[in-house]
Structure 1
Amino acid sequence: MQTSIFRSPWFSGVTIVAFFAFVILILIPVYVPRPAFIPGFAPPPDMWPRTISIIGIGLGVLLFILALTGRMPASELIESDGSSIPTQIIRFIGAMVAFVAFILLMPYVGFLLASMALTGAMILLTGERDYRYWIAGLSLIGPVLLQLIFHSALGTQFPVGILTKPFGF
């Protein structure tokens, strides 16, 4: 069975590399000034976005290499969950809507609640419906743990929303 270029694993690898290269080269500024309240030994503000982008580029290159060497057949990458191309396009649009909603909700409900909503939406957009308790647990506990780690261990403050400020989160 002949697959189109858009459904081949090597094209997916190239697309992933292009996306993360766009993020690291265009979206993340070349120089991000270090605020005065961050101590000199702490990592700069652009460290994590750059780290994630470099990891994404590496995974895209790995997928590309595995596809070229024949170790990643198209059947393992494309439609592994049985979804069609229109379903995948709808899920992509849903993911973009979820990210826009996250950005719009953050000033009002803060990082914690907006992250819970985003995490739940992203898990549901994968098509998973069987593990409802796991989905709820990851959506609720994951962002709380993330905020606790960054707040306690790294001293990073996340945005507090206008509506949730009286409640302390």
Structure 2
Amino acid sequence: MVKALEEYDIGRPSTYASIIQTLLNREYVLSEQRRLFPTTMGKIVNLFLTKHFARYVDYDFTANLEDDLDAVSRGEKDWLPLMQSFWDTFSQNIEEKKDVSREEVMQARELGIDPKSGKPVSVRYGRYGPFVQIGTKDDEEKPLFASLIGDMKFDEVDLERP
């Protein structure tokens, strides 16, 4: 990951450790044998950000903003117009995205109705991976949850193979 940060001119050597530690703390990645692997939650966050905030997670945007901030620290640029320009577009983007549903973010997919309970069945992503849910949070009874087992894949789950 450090090689990628260096290649795209993102961050500084002094910030690499804190970037990686933040990803680990938020459980967006796991570290195994000095390698980082994305978690399900990390993949969900990445998909959300690249879909709804593509400009801000673009390598060039990050590198250019760091260059601008360096220019501010050297006294070559005024910080107020830079931040105002950033905030104007960013706050507009936030406003446009405020109605994005949790289901869309978590990529919930309705499978149908459970024949035993008559409640809706869906497959969703959660912090620990994909799972099937019977019922909704609005039901009187708590929904039932089950993790996917074995080789089951999120996109292949249906009512025949929940």
Q: Same fold (TM over 0.5)?
A: no
Higher relative contact order (CA 8 A, sep 6+): 1
Larger radius of gyration: 2
Q: Answer 1 or 2: which has greater strand percent.
A: 2
Q: Answer 1 or 2: which has greater helix percent.
A: 1
